[in-house]
Amino acid sequence: MDVNLSRVVLIGTVLYAIAAVILLPMHASLTDDGHGRWPWIAVSGVGLGLLGLYYLKRRDRAIARDAAAQAGADGSQGTAGSQGADGSAEG
């Protein structure tokens, strides 16, 4: 099963952002009830999610670049220096 990790991280980041938007205005009442950390946990989730998205985008680009380089190397090795039975280069 092939999973799009960028989509998973994006969904999690959006959910944390929604939680932060809901919880930040309620910070005073949450603090009174002993839950003053909740808004900052949500803000941290957004920050870490954005960092994760950045990492995954760089990773995807590096994987694509390596795959292209590998394909280029495989393609050039297969055609360069090919000779026929009589020694002449095939074209």
What residues does each domain of the chain span?
5-70
6-26 pLDDT, tens digit per residue, is 999 999 999 999 999 999 999
In angstroms, the CA 54 to CA 6 distance is 9
69-80 pLDDT, tens digit per residue, is 998 888 766 555
pTM of the complete model beyond 0.85: no
Three-class SS state of 46: helix
pLDDT, residue 20, reads 96
- Cα–Cα separations (whole angstroms), residue 83 to 13, 73, 75: 56, 19, 16
